[in-house]
Amino acid sequence: MKVGIIGLPGSGKTTVFNAITGANAEVHAFSGAAGAEPNLGIVPVPDERQNWLSALYKPKKTTFATVEIVDVAGMVPGQSKKDGFSPQLIQHLRQVDALVHVVRSFTDPAIPHPDGSVDPLRDAEIMELELILADLSVVEKRLEKLDQEIQRKKGPELTTAEAEKEILARVKELLTNETPLRQVTLSEEELKIVRGYTFLSQKPLLLVANIDEGEIGKTDSATLTRLSPFATAKGAPLLAFCAKTEMEIAQLDESERVDFLSALGIEESGRDRLVKAAYQLLNVIPFFTVGEDEVKAWTITAGTPAQEAARKIHSDIARGFIRAEVAAFDALKECGSWHNAKEKGLVRLEGKEYVVANGDCINFRFAV
């Protein structure tokens, strides 16, 4: 599961990346360098429930769910009107499952903005349009090719080509009206065709307003007030994040970090909120396996049945699946132990088809 960081040059992408990963990748005053190698990081997804489970089981190992973060080079606006984002950038972005768009909202006059002024809404709109234009250029090229193919083809091949044309024509109309595909509900048939194109505007998007230090913790800040109607209209969650401060926090050691956050009156670091939000974008949920050896979070697509969830752990467990013993996290916490939960009848025996819920603690019974 991969999340790509996008944004205009100098919006703070690499600073956000460093804040999230605790890495120390180079930040520039301004580069926008095309072809620069992306920064890659894998980060654990914090989950208080898992901390609670670890305190209960005191396992040798606690393994959190993870997300992969990719920080690409800054994109230069206007490029997609000609040939799309740079080919390297497109290549990287096609492979990610979701996008985090870093919007410059910090005012620091020492850092020039490529457009000469700081205006988060304008920048958010520019990027949204770039995503749409990149998709539109793919659709238009394909439609041209399809027209030629339709003239040559016969029988079932012709029917398939015509069906694709119809769907892409609808997609084109949506994009032309500046509707990002993430906001459109597509039928199964449409999805099947559309999936192969890995459209950028179809990927779930999180807007991250990279705010000034002074705006930290303010829910009614000028930036949020300005950006939130846009975010709502585009189906994108919005998060305020001060990349500079968060990067400094990420470089502290654990105890210093706790002191620092409590001095700021913050319970949860922006980093933790951002990583959780990025994970949630992916339409996945965690379930837990618990025990004295390991407390571990496993990531599955929402709606996955128990037998498929078991396959995540080992194909033998899926093959020899008998039953899943399931305790919802809240029930387990309420009861204080697996034993108590069982006594109260809160450990359920579920079959193959049971749809695993977020936070289920599962013990799979299997025989091979």
Ligand X SMILES: Nc1nc2c(ncn2[C@@H]2O[C@H](COP(=O)(O)OP(=O)(O)OP(=O)(O)O)[C@@H](O)[C@H]2O)c(=O)[nH]1
Answer yes or no whether residue 11 interacts with ligand X by CB under 6 A: yes
Partner residues linked to 68 by β-bridges: 2, 42
Candidates 231-239, 241-249, 258-266, 346-354 — which segment interacts with ligand X by CB under 6 A?
241-249
Triad 206, 70, 228: Cα angle to 5°: 15
From 166, 169, 170, select the one nearest 184 (Cα to Cα). 170
Could you say which of Mg ion, ligand X, none residue 210 binds, taking C-beta under 5 to 8 angstroms by partner kind?
ligand X
Region 4-33 residues binding Mg ion, contact defined as CB under 5 A: 13-14
Which residue among 111, 158, 184, 328 contacts ligand X (CB under 6 A)? 111
Binding partner of residue 11 among ligand X, Mg ion, none, CB cut-off 5 to 8 Å per kind = ligand X
Site for ligand X, residues 168 to 227, rule: CB under 6 A: 210
Shortest spacing between CB 6 and Mg ion, in angstroms = 11
The residue from 236, 242, 300, 317 that contacts ligand X (CB under 6 A) is 242
Tokens (6 digits) for 181: 């595909």
Does residue 28 belong to the site contacting ligand X (CB under 6 A)?
Answer: yes
Instruction: Tell me how many residues contact ligand X (CB under 6 A).
Output: 23
Nearer to Mg ion, 74 or 286 (CB): 74
Tokens read off for 154: 């016969």
Residue 286 contact partner, candidates Mg ion, ligand X, none, CB within 5 to 8 A by sort of partner: none
Which of 29, 263, 367, 368 forms a contact with ligand X (CB under 6 A)? 29
120 binds ligand X (CB under 6 A): no
Name which of ligand X, Mg ion, none residue 111 binds, using a CB cut-off of 5 to 8 Å depending on partner kind: ligand X
Residues 54-77 as b or e (16 or more Cβ within 10 Å = b): beebebeebbbbbbebbbbbbbbb
Stretch that binds ligand X, among 26-34, 91-99, 129-137, 277-285 (CB under 6 A): 26-34
**Which of ligand X, Mg ion, none lies near 80, with the C-beta cut-off 5 to 8 A by kind?**
none
Q: Kindly tell me which residue out of 106, 199, 338, 354 binds ligand X, with binding defined by CB under 6 A.
A: 106
Long-range contacts of 215-223 (CB under 8 A, 24+ apart): 215/105, 215/240, 215/242, 216/240, 216/242, 216/245, 216/264, 216/266, 216/270, 217/264, 217/265, 217/266, 223/105, 223/120
Cα–Cα dist 90/94, whole Å:
6
Give which of ligand X, Mg ion, none residue 15 binds (C-beta under 5 to 8 Å, depending on kind). ligand X
Q: Does 264 bind ligand X (CB under 6 A)?
A: no
Q: How many CB atoms lie within 10 A of CB 278?
A: 27
Count residues near Mg ion (CB under 5 A): 2
Q: DSSP assignment of 20-73, as one string? A: HH-------SS---TTPPPEEEEEE---HHHHHHHHHH--SEEE--EEEEEE-P
Task: Confirm or reject binding of residue 7 to ligand X (CB under 6 A).
Answer: yes
Yes or no: say if 31 and 73 are a contact pair by the CB < 8 Å rule. yes
Contact positions toward ligand X, by CB under 6 A? 7, 9-15, 27-32, 73-74, 106, 108, 111, 210, 242-244
